[in-house]
Structure 1
Amino acid sequence: MTEPLVIGAMVRTLGAYPSGWRHPGAHRDPARDAEVLRRIAAAGEEAGLDYLFFGDWLATGPDLEFRDPYLLARIDPVSAVLFLAGLTSRIGLIATVNTTYADPYTTARSLASLDVLSGGRAGVNLVTGAEPRAAGNHGRAAHADNETRYDRAEEFVTALRRLWDSWDADAWIADAERGVLIDADRLRAANLEGAHVRVTGPLNVARPPQGRIPVVHAGTSPRS
């Protein structure tokens, strides 16, 4: 049996080519990214793409102007996909989250919310981060070493899945006659006590339509 070909697009509003913004008519003002995101999403759905992919970078600096100008100023990816959830009807929406600096409960909640609001079209790309300047932006003295970052990432994935599993699919009863809204036995805590991640739960968002939201990872190292 032949597997279907899945095709998506990586969204960079200023483009991937360092001097592309100089082309006549090119988008060059990040303050107007909303207009470009609307056009990209509409074009992606019309073309039949399966998903839009939003990367991330947790720092900026003038050195990026001539290397990766699209990293200078960019919309937070989770905010971007939430924005597009209401403007699209079919296409998948994948946001990048950096597990080294993100909070697992907040991440699980945002993505479960996206999945509910989009009717089951959420995805998350998990990265550990390669930008040392991100440490200072998050109150850390230094960027963690590779092994420590991946140790935390593994616990982060476990936390997400346990939190998304907080609610069984049939936990909501909503029996008005009996006055019973939920089956408490079908609501559970996460209770993760790892070396890097600790979270109790349960999650205060209904179970995502997909159950567990698909996790994407684009790393190429052995640990990845």
Structure 2
Amino acid sequence: MAEYKIRSYGDSDYEAVRELFSLGMSEYVPSVCMHVLKQPWVLFVITCFFLSLLFSSKSLILPVLAVTLFLALGRQVLAYCWNMYIDHCLKEDLQDIQKTYMESKGSHFWIVEAEDSIIGTVAVKPSGDRSDELILKRMSVRKDFRGLGIAKALSREVITFARQGGYRSVVLNTLMVQHEAQAMYESVGFRKYTEFVLPTVYGKLVNFTISKYRYEILPVN
């Protein structure tokens, strides 16, 4: 098992943290594409497009090539939209990590170091819904270091921080394509308490589902 160290964020970690987040989120592009492709209306449109070309051209090659081109174009559009989401995150709380997470009560940002590199991150801040609740954010572990229990260790670091601060629960959001992350959180003790489709035109079109998890911190007797 690789040796690693969890420590607090420092200003010198800024670029490495943002790069790790971007790379980690970019890995979901194929899963997002498959999720969209499985939507009934998308399959219906592709099928109708294929059949219309097949009957009008009386050739199999043309519709196959056209559908392939259509799928490739669709993937590029989805990748562009996903990259816009990543850019939004980088310009939001990750724009000034020190101010957002290290200078406010109930907030913190942790780094995982291994082999002289930053290979993991997690953050926490007040949820905004309840005064006794924190929200876990920006969990990321480099691909070649996954499966070693690092994400679980980071989750427990957040829970310990919340318990020591007198908070009663920790919540988090996951996307419909983050199946491994959901299983990991559940193994730590988080429980899904609700899920909803993103209330935007795009969210409803592609059934962009967000699942919310909560970890209840029991009072110490």
TM-score (norm 2): 0.28
TM-score (norm 1): 0.27
The structure where helix makes up a greater share of residues is 2
Which has the greater radius of gyration? 2
